[in-house]
Amino acid sequence: MKHRIVVLGAGYAGAFAAGNLARRLSPADTVITVVNAVPDFVERMRLHQLAIGQDLAFRKLADVFAGTGVQLRLAHVTGVDPERKAVAVTGEGGEGGDGELAYDTLLYALGSSVADHDVPGVAEYAFDVTGRSSALRLRERLAGLDEGGTVLIVGEGLTGIETATEFAESRPDLSVALAARGELGAWLSPKARRHLRQAFDRLGITVHEHTGIEAVEPTRAIAADGTSIPADVTVWSAGFAVHPIATASGLEVAETGQIVVDRTMRSVSHPDVYAAGDCAYAIGENGRPLPMSCASAGFTNMQATAAIIARLTGSKVPTTGLKYLGNHISLGQRDAIFQMVDGDARSKSWYLGGRTAARLKSGVLKGAGWSITHPTFGMPKRKRRLATAPDLVGVRVAA
């Protein structure tokens, strides 16, 4: 019987991992199935561009995996039973296709969604750019705003900054503001912080610093001090949260609901389960949990696939790097910041800004999209066969 590998999610982590596994493992020994709720690969890092009205091309996952040997199952994951080694699914849109998928090895890469932090009104009135459907909903709302309409972005992280600058550049007829709990760009080097503030000033973005939002209403947001901020549209980008499926499954999870994994991205409670991307609680080389980000998706999926392949083929498990080099921050289409960081993820004094940084960020986006949509590029002629009796638990990790 072939070894059944099931990958949950076809985002940046899951899609690349599935292709990597297909590229390196023999189809004579393995069958790889990817479960995803939507039929397209969604470039999440560009959803704020979709929301403001830009046209993005979405490639069909059926085309992405065509000829690779990867089986695609369009369905929503509703549960995981790690004791029975089974995944419960329901068909796309909740119609038909209900059932179970059995696995021998599971790679959990379901990603994350917006975190509302139980703030009243967020679920009812706020918009977000964490998924294509939510970005399209926001796109429709923004298209209906007249000149002078007010848009408030809540959250001073990378998503909030990129969303605010993209909106202000693309729709100068709107009044765009950003609410930050702390200081705008506080984690950046002094020069990069000045660059960021100059970009906000150039684009006419109002910044409300040290302003926590404690309620969202249809036409305004209420700050912790009672201040009312006008907002025809409130875009919530104040963090991410993972789906509670992992917690409900009995897998060991952190307080965040992320699956606790070892250095090889294997669940510490269930050795047949691996996690990658936002849903993995992984410790980086600086001793801190990896943040939810596209970069973390890259680090963790490469480590997870390397570990899966090594253990199945009876090889020594390698370790891949879990170290950040810097942050790329788009400031509209013609400006950006590339901030280098040290081993403790603290900003170095050097940064790159302006059009050169914008071209670099554009290259990063294109490269990420291309690598995902060409998952078996450079496929070797010879693929690795599984060990006759692979020790899925006992293979030691390389130092």
pLDDT in tens, 341-383: 876 677 888 889 999 999 988 888 887 777 777 766 655 555 7
165 phi/psi in degrees, rounded to 5 = -70, -40
Give the whole-angstrom CA distance, residue 224 versus residue 120.
Answer: 12
Starting at the edge strand found earlier in the chain, the sheet holding 175-179 runs 206-208, 175-179, 150-154, 233-236
pTM: 0.90
Q: What is the CA radius of gyration of the chain?
A: 22
pLDDT in the model for residue 371: 76
The b/e string for 181-195 (b: 16+ C-beta within 10 A; e otherwise) is beebbebbbeebbeb
What tokens were used for 229?
């901020």
pLDDT in the model for residue 170: 97
Q: Are strands 105-108 and 3-8 parallel, antiparallel or unpaired?
A: parallel
pLDDT in tens, 33-77: 999 999 999 989 999 999 999 988 888 999 999 988 999 999 999
Give the whole-angstrom CA distance, residue 189 versus residue 314.
Answer: 46
Closest CA to 42 of 26, 55, 60, 24: 60
What tokens were used for 163?
């969303």
pLDDT in the model for residue 349: 86
Distant-in-sequence, close-in-space partners of 257: CB < 8 Å, separation ≥ 6: 241, 242, 243, 244, 246, 247
pLDDT in the model for residue 97: 58
Give the whole-angstrom CA distance, residue 106 versus residue 86.
Answer: 9
- Helical H runs in the chain? 12-24, 47-51, 61-64, 122-125, 132-143, 158-170, 190-203, 245-249, 294-312, 355-373
Q: Which residue has the tokens 């705003």?
A: 145
Residues 211 and 185: beta-carbon distance below 8 Å: no
Residue 330 burial (10 A CB sphere; 0-12, 13-18, 19+): buried
Q: Which residues of the chain have pLDDT under 70?
A: 92-97, 343-344, 375-382, 388-399
Q: Which residue has the tokens 């936002």?
A: 278
Residues 393 and 271: beta-carbon distance below 8 Å: yes
pLDDT in the model for residue 92: 55
pLDDT in the model for residue 347: 85
SS (H, E, C) 309-343: HHHHCCCCECCCCCCCCEEEEECCCCCEEEEEECC
Q: Angle formed by the axes of helices 190-203 and 158-170, to 10°?
A: 30
Give 365's Cβ-side CA count (13 Å radius).
19
Residues 18 and 56: beta-carbon distance below 8 Å: no
